[in-house]
Amino acid sequence: MAEPRIVILGAGPAGGATAMGLRHLGYAVELVSDWRRFAAVEGVSQRVLDGMRHAGLSRALEQAAVPARRRVDWNGSRQQLNQEFLLDRQLFDRALREDLRHAGVTVIEGRVRDVENTALGHRVVLDGGQVLQADFLVEARGRQAPLTANRLRGPESVSLLNLWQGEAGEPLSAVESLDDGWAWMARLADGRCYWQITLDSSTSSLPPRAQLPAYCAQRRQQSALACELFGEHVGVLAELHARSSTAILAGDCVGDTWLRVGDAAMAVDPLSGNGIFQSLSSALQAPAVINTLLRHPQRAALAKRFHQERIEQLFLRFARIGRDFYAQEQRGIDQPFWAPRRSWPDDQPIHAAADFRQLRVDRRPVIRDGLIDEAEVVVGPDQPLGIWHVQGVELAPLVHGLQAGQQLEALLSNRPVAQQSMLRAWLVAQGYRG
């Protein structure tokens, strides 16, 4: 049997993590890489850095992540929060390609012109005329990926990113709420400055594109926080890039010979959290899904269910996180920008209240040995997809036993002390009171 030809469109964190995972499973991978059109920096947490290291992107992190102090002006109060890390995306993207090449991924520089689905697979045509044939296609071009017909969209948002050169100084980042939106800003040690304002694209009265740099400069000058961060350079006419920041959930994210990851599957509002973390969350599961679809087609329905359900749950989770951040701003509660975002996508809490009585054991898809398999998991209000194990210890036998009337001490007696403590803590977190 010939080895399947796998092509990944997009060399961002989602495409890169998927490629690294597939190489770890022994697959040959071709990845099409189109360079970012503009410089950018992103604020990321330690959890994001840990996730990228787990995905094998260590070289990229070493060259691109810089710690910075972070300030927050929200709902009329100022806070100095723990540091975040500023990720220079140009350095990161360049080093990510080196990580991929070092792992044996074939990186093809080019821009996708057309994708055709045929009886023989997928035909990818690049701008230079090169044609790639794929048995399996991974769509990882982020918001540049073609939209699906049955997508779910949040309130329409646009972000205006400004970039300019200021004075060198301590790396800093900040975020502030405004009457008609919110702004994120950062300064790197070498003086590169970034300021991005996010507005409602359906209600904002923005000037023509040629006047946007002056409009943004005026908005920065009206912000005490921006003046403090950027000093005398706050009002310069900066390079400007406008981009959509509407939360979008693609409809179908997986088929028998294709799969969507990262922002191509679920692009969230930037206030919901870091885009790289969301991209990794969906991409880290993708290799096992692809491996199952290629090697065990009899499990195709299980693998597709696994990927689709987790994409949808991730999207709703991050959408609700963004909703609750928006709800913290009380000053503009009835303003066109704030009102719809305080209630979208629903009124469900991010976390449901713990109640051990509502836990049940069900068979659900899980990742086992690089494949999607089925196992007994514990399902509850806060974990609708189920929890299989904690630190390698399966939970279903424990819950089964307790629900059947067995004593906890008897169920734990043959386990090491450390595992007993861990399982007790987990039960308490689920509302178990003995």
Residues 208 and 306 in one domain: no
- Cα angle value 127/20/1 (rounded, 5°): 80
Residues 21 and 113 in one domain: yes
74 within some domain: no
Last residue of a domain, one of 196, 225, 244: 244
Residues 22 and 103 in one domain: yes
Residues 91 and 11 in one domain: yes
Contact 273, 116 (CB under 8 A): no
**Mean pLDDT, the chain, integer:** 91
405 within some domain: yes
Contact 201, 244 (CB under 8 A): yes
350 within some domain: no
Residues 104 and 202 in one domain: no
Residues 140 and 172 in one domain: no
Neighbours of 39 (CB within 10 A): 15
> Is residue 94's pLDDT more than 90?
no
- 262 vs 325: CA distance, rounded Å: 22
The pTM assigned to this predicted structure is 0.93
Residues 219 and 335 in one domain: no
Residues 260 and 172 in one domain: no
Residues 255 and 301 in one domain: yes
Residue matched to tokens 């071009």 = 141
For the stretch 228-281, pLDDT in tens is 999 999 999 999 999 999 999 999 999 999 999 999 999 999 887 667 777 888
Residues 57 and 116 in one domain: yes
Q: Which amino acid is at 169?
A: G
Mean pLDDT of 2-24: 94
Mean pLDDT of 223-230: 95
For the stretch 295-317, pLDDT in tens is 999 999 999 999 999 999 999 99
Last residue of a domain, one of 201, 219, 244: 244
pLDDT value of position 131: 96
> Is residue 1's pLDDT more than 60?
no
CATH number of the CATH domain containing 98: 3.50.50.60
Q: How would residue 210 be classed by pLDDT, with cut points 50, 70 and 90?
A: very high
- 236 vs 122: CA distance, rounded Å: 47
- 383 vs 366: CA distance, rounded Å: 14
Residues 239 and 257 in one domain: no
CATH number of the CATH domain containing 236: 3.30.9.100
Beta strands in 129-180 (DSSP E): 131-134, 136-139, 152-153, 157-165, 172-178
Give the range of the structural domain holding residue 58, as residue numbers without chain letter. 6-69+81-151+249-341
Q: How would residue 66 be classed by pLDDT, with cut points 50, 70 and 90?
A: confident
Residues 265 and 120 in one domain: yes
For the stretch 388-400, pLDDT in tens is 999 899 999 999 9
Q: In what order do the strands lie in the sheet with 192-200?
A: 41-44, 77-88, 65-74, 172-178, 181-187, 192-200, 157-165, 239-244
40 within some domain: yes
- 93 vs 98: CA distance, rounded Å: 9
1 within some domain: no
How many angstroms from the chain centroid is the CA of residue 365?
Answer: 22
177 within some domain: yes
Q: Which residue has the higher pLDDT, 338 or 271?
A: 338
What sections of 212-299 are H helices per DSSP? 212-221, 224-230, 275-283, 286-295
For the stretch 161-191, pLDDT in tens is 999 999 999 999 999 999 999 999 999 999 9
Which H or E run includes 198?
Answer: strand 192-200
Contact 143, 167 (CB under 8 A): no
How many structural domains compose the chain?
3
> Is residue 55's pLDDT more than 60?
yes
Last residue of a domain, one of 341, 370, 401: 341
- 269 vs 140: CA distance, rounded Å: 18
Cis status, amide bond into 345, omega within 30 of 0: yes
296 within some domain: yes
351 within some domain: no
